[in-house]
Amino acid sequence: SICICPGGISAPPAVRWMRSPSETRRVDAERMNRPPLEVADIVRCAGQSFVERSRKWINGQHEKVLLAITRCRTAALGGHRDQCADCGHTAISYNSCRNRHCPKCQGNARRRWLQARERELLPTRYVHVVFTLPRELAPLALQNKRLIYNLLFHTSAATLLEIARDPRHLGAEIGFFSVLHTWDQRLQHHPHVHCVLAAGGLAPGHSRWISSRRSFFLPVKVLGRVFRGKFVAGLKTAFHAGTLQFHGHLLPLAEPCAFASWLRVLFRHDWVVYSKRPFSGPEHVLRYLGAYTHRVAISNSRLVALANGHVTFRWRDSAHGNQKRLIALPVEEFLRRFLLHLLPRGFMRIRNFGFLANRRRAELLPLCLRLLQSSDHPAVATASPAALPIPSLWRCPLCGGTMQVVERLSAAQLLLRSPPHLSRCAA
- CA dist 406 and 82 (Å) reads 6
| pLDDT band of 188, cuts 50, 70, 90 | very high
Q: What is the mean pLDDT of residues 57-79?
A: 90
State the chain's mean pLDDT as an integer.
Answer: 83
How far is C-alpha 252 from the chain's CA centre?
34
Residue among 107, 341, 127 at smallest CA distance from 214: 127
Residue 107 pLDDT > 80: no
With bands split at pLDDT 50, 70 and 90, how would you rate the model's confidence at 364? very high
Task: Tell me what pLDDT residue 426 has.
Answer: 38
10 vs 401: which has the higher pLDDT: 401
Q: Using an 8 Å Cβ cutoff, are 378 and 200 in contact?
A: no
- Give the distance from CA 96 to its chain's centroid: 17
Q: What average pLDDT score do residues 3-15 get? A: 39
What residues does 82 pair with on adjacent strands? 91, 405
CA triplet 163, 266, 247: central angle to 5 degrees?
Answer: 120
Alpha helices in 166-267 (DSSP H): 220-241, 256-265
* More confident of the two residues 192 and 405: 192
pTM for the full model?
0.83
Half-sphere exposure of 48 (CA within 13 A, CB side): 12
- Closest listed residue to residue 227, CA positions, set 260, 266, 198: 266
Q: What is the pLDDT of residue 397?
A: 80
Q: How confident is the model at residue 14 (pLDDT cuts 50, 70, 90)?
A: very low
Question: Which DSSP helix (H) or strand (E) runs through 189?
Answer: strand 189-198
pLDDT at 377: 53
CA-closest candidate to residue 8, choices 33, 37, 42, 35: 42
The stretch 212-218 carries a mean pLDDT of 83
Across 10-14, 87-91, 320-324, least confident range: 10-14
pLDDT band at 284 (very low <50, low <70, confident <90, very high): confident
Q: Residue 78 — pLDDT band, cuts 50, 70, 90?
A: confident
With bands split at pLDDT 50, 70 and 90, how would you rate the model's confidence at 320?
A: confident
Q: CA 26, 32, 36 angle in degrees (round to 5)?
A: 135
The beta strands (E) that lie in 273-427 are given as 273-275, 303-307, 310-317, 323-330, 350-354, 403-409
Residue 232 to residues 152, 180, 242, 249, 351: CA-CA distances in angstroms?
11, 19, 15, 21, 22
126-132 and 273-275: which strand pairing?
Answer: antiparallel
3-state secondary structure of 363: helix
Beta-strand pair 403-409/79-84: antiparallel
